Structure 1
Amino acid sequence: MTLPTLRIARPTDSIARLLPFYRDGLGLSVLGQFEDHAGFDGIMLGQPGAPFHLEFTHQRSHTVGRAPTQDNLLIWYLPQHETWQAAVARMRRQGFEPVPSRNPYWDASGCTFEDPDGYRVVLQCGQWPPAVS
């Protein structure tokens, strides 16, 4: 069975400001990019061969502003504790410090980081689906 590919697309005021967070901090690869496609610039990031990627676009002469709430989250489930620790350490080495999660659930087994646009990524030390208790 072939899995569908999930693309999450979001506008930004500055692709250049987001790139270090997602590429250097989270460790995603640049999968593709474009400039001035009908007035839009964009970049796709992900892991080669993975069935998902993130797309960030910027429409020239248009302002989108910051995230509407602190609860706009992308959750990365990292089941091995060592892998999770390494991911958190990489974010910190790149200059990104954790922020308290708006929902305290994510602070129990995770670490939340805020990108330059105010959107948040949770590095969750756990497996999906989570064990039901």
Structure 2
Amino acid sequence: MTGDGAIGPATHVRHARPSRDLAAAERFWTEGLGLSVLWRTTERGPGEHDLVMVGFPGGSWHFELTRDPERPLAPTPTVDDLFVLYLGEPVAEELVERLVAAGGRRVPAHNPYWDEFGVTVEDPDGYRLVLSSRTWG
């Protein structure tokens, strides 16, 4: 960062979205994908909600999965709401099996490009994770 409000390659990214079941979502992203729990809260103050943040310690991105038990929001993913990880190698079947065992569901991609160059797995809330065999950049 340059200090002038510029966004750059080192900018940290938080992707926040609601979850029907935080325990199920956490299991998918940690046991399935291998992320770590970075923060968790179940505060019950005004305007507070339950959340779990998952990512890689020291990483530049993480997910904030939220659930407001008093005013729950239903996740509303579409078949083209994708979180893509570029692995740069063939997708290990063991990884896909781990994601499925942790509550995911392997699905055909809406865009056939992702079936040609990877594997798509829906998380317990219906959001899609694409494991791409391609590289980025």
Larger deviation, residues 12-21 vs 41-50: 12-21
TM-score by length of 2: 0.82
The equivalent position to 1:56 in structure 2, one of 40, 65, 77, is: 65
CA distance in 2 between partners of 1:93 and 1:47 (Å): 21
Q: 1:109 to 1:51 in 2, by over 3 A?
A: same
Residues 1:116 and 2:111 aligned together: no
SS in 1 for 2:135: coil
The gaps in structure 1 that reach 5 residues or longer are none
Larger deviation, residues 14-23 vs 34-43: 34-43
SS in 2 for 1:79: coil
Structure 1 equivalent of residue 49 of structure 2: 40
Structure 1 equivalent of residue 23 of structure 2: 16
Show CA shifts across 1:79-116 (max 9, x none).
133xx315324324546341101111100011000111
SS in 2 for 1:71: coil
Structure 2 equivalent of residue 27 of structure 1: 34
Counting matched residue pairs gives 127
CA distance in 1 between partners of 2:124 and 2:20 (Å): 10
Larger deviation, residues 120-129 vs 62-71: 62-71
Structure 2 equivalent of residue 80 of structure 1: 89
Alpha-carbon contact 1:30-1:43 (below 8 Å) kept:
yes
User: What's the offset of the Cα at 1:67?
Assistant: 2.5
TM-score by length of 1: 0.84
Letter in 1 for 2:88: P
The equivalent position to 2:134 in structure 1, one of 109, 126, 129, is: 126
Superposition RMSD on alpha carbons, in Å?
1.9
Hey, which bits of structure 1, 4+ residues long, moved more than 4 A?
A: none
